[in-house]
Amino acid sequence: MTESRYSVPQPSSHSVRYGMPFSQQILESLENLHLLGRRAILALLGIAVGCAAVVALLNIGRNAENEAMRIFQGMGSEIMVANIQRLMNGKMNPLLPSPNLDISALHKTIPEINAASVLIPASVQVRMNGRTDSATVVGSSAELPSVLGLTLAQGRFLSDFDGYSTYVVLGANVAEQLTQINGHAVQPGTVIQLGDYLYQIVGILASTGPNPIIPLSIDDVILMSDRGMRRVIGLPQIGNVVIRSQNSDGQEHISSRLQAWLAEQMPGFDIHVQLPRQLIEGMEQQSRLFSWLLTGLGGISLLVGGVGVMNVMVMNVSERRREIGVRMALGARPRDIATLFLLEALVLASVGALLGAVVGMFSAWLFVYFAGWSDFVFSLTALQLGTGSAIAIGLFFGLSPALSAARLEPVDALRDV
């Protein structure tokens, strides 16, 4: 100590605010976590798994919703479906067929309707090439392709003049199955036996994919004229009436008029007209509920991760008791000690959240890829909610150990235990 006091480097002026600079505090917490080593990684893993679960599940939920919406969008919002059921307590004889509907009269009553068709489903035995199989036959009107946007791969569709004739049109999948049974391709002109009658195939439809608004898949049925259904089953019952309106405006108005007309034409039947929008809304509600359930699941894993953080921080505080005392002796205020440990918990949770976000996004992408869904939709909400709640959980569970450290008396912290 030979130098005079004046050559000693002096701390800068008194105007400096008391307390460690924030950058220094961050640096310290990083260094301390590095010293914690494997234990920090374990706590971090808990948070990462929780965050990954939230991010992945929310993202998958979002993608599932998107996929469902995509299917709905294909069918167009101008389509409307009336579900028809016989009232069981009515005075009508249940052994009577449902009345024939005059589609041309419907066009006159509601001119906004572009095309309409009944759907009369029935199960039937198909015989071909000496083998028997069962199939669904649907009686429909000539306008069905216009209503559902069907296109023909081969031949023609049924016309109004096919009334009672023995002509059928095959859905794409049915045609494929019959080809396998037949040994060679079925085509217009091929004859098949349905029940007790022989029918001639006049057309084969192109594949349409599933349409969730109607209760059957057109690809999987054999279509024939509604009037000819009497030949297949004794009591043909109209299951649905599908219509397409000119545009998507005034749907409610059209649906109520359709309801009224059908009720008038078909007394003793329960008629319920459904709009695609209602279906979409129901579906959205369902997928939202699903999303929340998944989020809850992710939240529980996050909570478990938070307990892991708390565990590490409690251990950390009790092991570094003496260090806390030394820091207090050197001038650390209670709030400096609290910040020290809170920042450590925060850094721990943030790194875990970041890791979890990456893993969660990747696993959601993997899921969507292997589920064969159209394309991956990145959900920003999932990312924000996942990382945000992970960091909040880390802070929440880090708070109590940090405060207990700050509340230590310096003399107690320095004492040997």
Partner 1 sequence: MNTSAAELVRLESVSHSYGAGDSHHKALRNVSLSIPSGQTCAIVGSSGSGKSTLLNLIGLLDTPTTGHLFLNGKNMSLCSAEALAIARNHTIGFIFQSFNLLPGLSVLDNVALPLLYRGVKRHHAQEIARYYVGCVGLGDRIKHLPADLSGGQRQRVAIARALVAQPALLLADEPTGNLDSQNVASIIELLMTLNDDFGTTLIVVTHDTSIARKMSRCINVCDGKINEVLND
What residues from 306 to 345 belong to the interface with partner 1 (CB under 8 A)?
Answer: 322-323, 325-336
- Closest approach, Cβ 24 to partner 1, in A, equals 5
- Closest approach, Cβ 21 to partner 1, in A, equals 6
- Closest approach, Cβ 360 to partner 1, in A, equals 33
- Closest approach, Cβ 320 to partner 1, in A, equals 9
Pairing of strands 131-140, 152-155: unpaired
Is residue 134 within 8 Å of 125, Cβ to Cβ?
yes
Question: To 5 degrees, how large is the angle CA 8–CA 9–CA 13?
Answer: 125
Nearest to 303 by CA among 18, 50, 97, 79: 50
What residues from 27 to 56 belong to the interface with partner 1 (CB under 8 A)?
Answer: 27, 31-32, 35
User: What type of residue is 286?
Assistant: Q
Nearest to 79 by CA among 109, 116, 107, 106: 116
- Closest approach, Cβ 72 to partner 1, in A, equals 60
Nearer to partner 1 (CB atom), residue 9 or residue 130:
9
What residues from 6 to 25 belong to the interface with partner 1 (CB under 8 A)?
Answer: 8-12, 16-21, 23-24
- Closest approach, Cβ 348 to partner 1, in A, equals 16
Query: How many angstroms from the chain centroid is the CA of residue 78?
Result: 24
Nearer to partner 1 (CB atom), residue 155 or residue 334:
334
Nearer to partner 1 (CB atom), residue 252 or residue 409:
409
How many CA atoms lie less than 13 Å away from 127 in the CB half-sphere?
Answer: 7
How many CA atoms lie less than 13 Å away from 187 in the CB half-sphere?
Answer: 3
Task: Tell the residue number behind the tokens 């003049």, with chain if given.
Answer: 161
Among 188, 195, 212, 410, binds partner 1 (CB under 8 A): 410
Nearer to partner 1 (CB atom), residue 87 or residue 411:
411
- Closest approach, Cβ 404 to partner 1, in A, equals 14
Among 1, 88, 380, 417, binds partner 1 (CB under 8 A): 1
* Dihedral sign computed on CA atoms, order 5, 11, 15, 19: negative
CA distance 120 to 282: 26
Nearer to partner 1 (CB atom), residue 4 or residue 180:
4
Enclosing H/E stretch for 123: strand 113-128
Enclosing H/E stretch for 147: helix 144-148
Nearer to partner 1 (CB atom), residue 116 or residue 324:
324
Nearer to partner 1 (CB atom), residue 5 or residue 184:
5
DSSP structural state of residue 6? G
- Give the number of residues in contact with partner 1, rule: CB under 8 A: 38
**Binding region for partner 1 (CB under 8 A):** 1, 3, 5, 8-12, 16-21, 23-24, 27, 31-32, 35, 322-323, 325-336, 409-411, 414
